[in-house]
Homo-oligomer: A and B are copies of this chain.
Amino acid sequence: MTVKVMTNAQTIRSNEDKKYLINRLKTIAGQVKGVSEMIEQDRYCNDILIQISAIEKSLKGVANEILKSHLATCVVTKIKNDELDIIDEIMELVRRLD
Contact = CB atoms under 8 A, between A and B. Distances in A.
Interface of A: 1-7, 9-13, 18, 21-22, 25-36, 39-40, 42-56, 59-60, 62-64, 66-76, 79-80, 84, 87, 89-91, 93-98
A7 B87 CA distance: 24
B84 A76 contact: yes
15 contacts: A1-B34, A6-B47, A11-B43, A12-B42, A25-B33, A25-B36, A46-B93, A52-B66, A56-B56, A56-B59, A56-B97, A71-B90, A72-B84, A76-B79, A79-B80
How many copies of the polypeptide does the oligomer hold?
A: 4
Contacts of A90: 71
A70 to B, nearest CB: 4
Given A13-B42, A48-B66, A52-B97, 4 more contacts: A45-B66, A49-B97, A52-B62, A80-B80
